[in-house]
Structure 1
Amino acid sequence: MEYIKGFTFGFLSKKGDFLNSRAKESLKLLKERTNINHVIICLAALQDTAQSVEIDYTGPHIVSDEELMHMIDYARTLGLKVILKPLVNVRNGTWRAHINFFDVDVPCEPKWSEWFESYTNYQCHYAEIAQRTNCEMFIVGCEMVQAQRREQEWRQLIQEVRKIYHGCISYNTDKYQEDHVTWWDAVDVISSSGYYPINDWENQLERIEKVVMKYNKPFFFAEAGCPSRTGSSLIPNNWELVGEVNLEEQEKYYRVMFEKTMEKKWVRGFGLWDWSALLYDEKDASKDNGYGVFGKPAEKVIRHFYSSI
């Protein structure tokens, strides 16, 4: 598999955001400033609670199909390959990993079968767009830790998606979960969110390598990154961590992550997290403590690394 020099773009973009001229300029800057060859366009549908069975992918919280396809077309003009990643968030703020239902159906209680019916409709809708726009990869889910145990439902979902989309399919499991997915054989590429502590990359890569060798599938980190705040390099998955702005800590995290992963030839790239469709002003980069790298030292580290591949 070609090395994915990627970045996640447009997460939490709302209807109309991709029509804003700033969004195109942002994607153009992303290509110019980091030298990516892939862009992961990440869509976020919503369900009301972790036990709701209806998934909303048509409301104002998500870009329209027309503007999505328009942005994919624009990415092509920049020479980018496109990975489409529709995930689901919970309106009340619960992390999607906690979406869960009883394993044994109970009358009058929400059921896995109901949820997967709605989720499959959601995935198939965007699989059709991915097929129509010739996306290079389609990611059928992200960090669904509790749902991952429902092996047969995932296998059926992937079968349904394959009827529509004929390209490469992956699933983005969460950090520490790579060896807990039992249906990796059903996808073409294994991927995960690599938010590992800066001092623990070697241990985690050794663990993940066993999974990759077992299934003999390509692997990449569909997400990876670190906020620019003090303490984040030790717990990069905690976006709520309280800490002062620390651009140097973010820069160091990227240097170490790239150094350690380059030692493992089976790691075939990244979908770094993340680059907003509506960027902050570059002069404010030194005040930003989020995952963004625009105008920060980490941006140059990423460009140098991607340019060296």
Structure 2
Amino acid sequence: MTRQVDGWDAPVCGMTWGWTGVRGTWLTPEAQHSMDEMAGLGVSWVTLAYGALQATAQSTTIAFADEPTVTDDEIRGAVARARRLDLKVCLKPVVNVADGTWRAYIGFFDWDVPGEPSWAQWFAAYREFIVHHAQLAAELQVEMFCIGCEMVRADSQEAHWRELIADVREVYDGLVTYNCDKYQEDHVTWWDAVDVISASGYYPTGSWPEQLDRIGAVVEREGKPFLFIEAGCPSREGSPERPNDWALVGAPSERAQAEYLDEMLSACAERPWVGGFMLWDWPATLYAPADAATNDDYCMYAKEGAAVVRRHYTA
């Protein structure tokens, strides 16, 4: 049985907006138009997702004050725009690797070795990045704050995560979540430290019942609210079988995306413990509606998938 958590109000009918948070793109007329169009899908929540860079997967500095990361004022402006649309907000600062390595591979030796980069050094830099944005989340009174995204190699550093969460709670009193990667829900050992369990739900078509059975056991054991803080599918042929592969080669297909979204949302609607979605994703600058048929990315703007989302979110 999932226990009640102060501030948690399911269902979360949400969208992820603004990724990757490129400086100069969040306070434009195009960004205003983008968020207005997103609200038309019946969303009640928005995750503002933005990235900061470290040079390599073994770097121990994170340049979150530098370009290309959005500025604090851009985040303030995006939150204000979301409030005007009556949306609840989750802030989601994410670390990326400048050389293109996926953040899941950020990692160090299990024990400290003199002269080698260490988990302790990295978490010190990561703490500075995350706590700064937790303070901003508190200033802006956003409803939820995500402390990390798909940090698969780092997931095992339980003590460091618990210390970070304690530091975040010193400055922010809203809901705290962590976005584990797909297939990792039952490997994180510190779910008790957060308020909401969240995951990236990029599961292949046909596998949703099996995966929901597995995740449901975790939710039952932990007694925490749960949502898919990322989930979606590119609008291209073949993507329903590999929805996490944004580089998959395939012809554009609105129908493939729409059918996947309907399958996913329908399967999850049968599981009351699934508290909602922050679908992936909705950029700060949209393509023209006339280009929707040839756009093969995750955004469902002006595609068949938009009607699917609107139907599920407004049911």
Whether 1:273 and 2:274 are equivalent positions in the alignment is: no
Q: What is the aligned partner in structure 2 of residue 256 from structure 1?
A: 263
Distance 1:251 1:70 in 2: 32
Q: What is the aligned partner in structure 2 of residue 10 from structure 1?
A: 18
Alignment of 1:47-86 (within 5 A): 47-86=54-93
Contact 2:234 2:298 in 1 (8 A): yes
Whether 1:241 and 2:248 are equivalent positions in the alignment is: yes
* CA root-mean-square deviation: 0.6
Find the partner of 1:231 among 212, 232, 238: 238
- Partner amino acid for 1:18? W
Whether 1:207 and 2:214 are equivalent positions in the alignment is: yes
Distance 2:237 2:77 in 1: 38
Alignment of 1:171-182 (within 5 A): 171-182=178-189
Find the partner of 1:20 among 28, 39, 44: 28
Distance 1:285 1:246 in 2: 10
Distance 1:177 1:225 in 2: 17
Contact 2:237 2:251 in 1 (8 A): yes
TM-score normalized by the length of structure 1: 0.98
Distance 1:71 1:303 in 2: 22
SS in 1 for 2:67: coil
Find the partner of 2:296 among 270, 289, 296: 289
TM-superposed CA distance for 1:176, in Å, is 0.2
TM-superposed CA distance for 1:13, in Å, is 2.6
Whether 1:131 and 2:138 are equivalent positions in the alignment is: yes
Q: What is the aligned partner in structure 1 of residue 39 from structure 2?
A: 31
SS in 1 for 2:26: helix
Distance 1:255 1:157 in 2: 37
Alignment of 1:130-209 (within 5 A): 130-209=137-216
Distance 1:131 1:98 in 2: 30
Number of residue pairs aligned between Structure 1 and Structure 2? 307
TM-superposed CA distance for 1:137, in Å, is 0.2
Q: Which runs of 4+ in 1 moved over 3 A?
A: none
TM-score normalized by the length of structure 2: 0.97
What's the % identity of the aligned pairs? 47
Distance 2:207 2:106 in 1: 28
TM-superposed CA distance for 1:56, in Å, is 1.1
Q: What is the aligned partner in structure 2 of residue 40 from structure 1?
A: 47
Structure 1 segments unaligned to the other structure (5+ residues):
none
SS in 2 for 1:239: coil
TM-superposed CA distance for 1:19, in Å, is 1.8
SS in 1 for 2:314: helix
Q: What is the aligned partner in structure 1 of residue 307 from structure 2?
A: 300
- Partner amino acid for 1:287? T
SS in 2 for 1:178: coil
Distance 2:297 2:26 in 1: 21
